[in-house]
Amino acid sequence: MNTYSAKFNLIEIDKYKKAFESEGAAFGRPQYMLFQAKGDGFTASFYESGKFVIQGKNTKKLLEKYFNISCKDNARSSEALPFPHIGIDESGKGDFFGPLVIAGALLDKNSAKSCLEMGVCDSKKLDDKKILKLAPEIKKLCIHDIVIISPKKYNELYSSFKNLNRLLAWGHATVLENILTKKACDLALSDKFADESVIIRALKDKGKNIKLVQRTKAEEDIAVACASILARAGFVNRISGLSREYELDLPKGASAYVVEQGRKFVEKFGEAELKNIAKLHFKTTGAII
């Protein structure tokens, strides 16, 4: 294995730097990095996001010597998908307020490298400020598509599908079709949320022949990570817009505070208006009304 990437503890950054000093590395600080170390048979890049990437013929030796990582256990490396491929992810699925946003990103080797250098990783490991900063840069680097399903439309679709997985499959298939309209691709990856056939059945002409891979923790793949950031940015922007429109804080998630704000909303605007800001099939609706 000549490439490895993972998260690292930002508090221990000095320890990592000393490790590479002992290997006689030359140091630099490219954009988005805390430092980059280059030495005999390796390049180690430590990003501001808390991700590190080690490349070169001595990768295995360094991981085992300084990080206590056995390359035999690196399932990500053995299961890595070839480029180009499409990554798909969604945001808002577990949030009572706001839309459901599904995004896809088509990456080749060059765009994947650029995204790694920017510090792209699973959006759940980044704060919203960083996500909103990265999303425009990702859009510049790769072919992408974003489907934003407003709360009102979401409630209509849910009434039709009667099942969240079928609704998600429809959204994922729509994103895939839209990307394939822009550029052909034979491979796509998404997080596993339903039987693959559910998505395949939802695909139209352009997507019928694509190889669709579903796996848990798909966000570890750089293309899916890009999609997760695009989806999250879309969700954050829309829920912020709804909060401004109704002049009421609409929090993320489905917590007790969400119920509290939901009751305030109903008092101010009435039950009928709730369908325009929230996903009504959530149990939270019963707690509010």
Handedness of CA 215, 221, 223, 229 (dihedral sign): positive
pLDDT score of 139:
97
Superfamily (CATH H level) for 3-78: TATA-Binding Protein (3.30.310.10)
pLDDT score of 2:
64
Residue 79, Ramachandran bin (φ over 0: left; ψ between -120 and 50: alpha; else beta):
alpha
How far is Cα 16 from Cα 40, in angstroms, rounded to an integer? 17
Torsion of CA 225, 226, 232, 238, to 10 degrees: -170
Return the DSSP state at 207.
G
pLDDT score of 73:
38
Across 158-185, b (16+ Cβ under 10 Å) vs e yields beeeeebebbbbbbbbbbbbbbbeeeeb
pLDDT score of 207:
63
| Contact assessment for residue 44 and residue 54, using Cβ atoms and an 8 Å cutoff | yes
| Contact assessment for residue 277 and residue 248, using Cβ atoms and an 8 Å cutoff | no
pLDDT score of 77:
36
Q: What is the pLDDT along the chain (289 residues), one digit of tens a residue?
A: 467 777 777 777 888 888 888 888 899 998 888 899 998 888 988 887 777 888 888 887 887 777 766 544 333 433 578 899 999 999 999 999 999 999 999 999 999 989 988 888 888 878 899 999 999 999 999 999 999 999 999 999 999 988 888 898 889 989 999 999 999 999 999 887 766 666 767 776 666 678 888 887 788 899 999 999 999 999 999 999 999 999 999 999 888 999 999 999 999 999 999 999 999 999 999 999 8
- Phi then psi for residue 63, to 5 deg, are -60, -45
**CATH T-level topology, domain 85-239:** Nucleotidyltransferase; domain 5 (3.30.420)
List the structure tokens of 152: 């009102």
| Contacts with 144 (C-beta within 8 Å, 6 or more apart), sequence order | 103, 104, 105, 106, 138, 179, 226, 227, 230
**How is the chain split into domains, by residue range?**
3-78, 85-239, 243-288
pLDDT score of 239:
97
| Contact assessment for residue 123 and residue 262, using Cβ atoms and an 8 Å cutoff | no
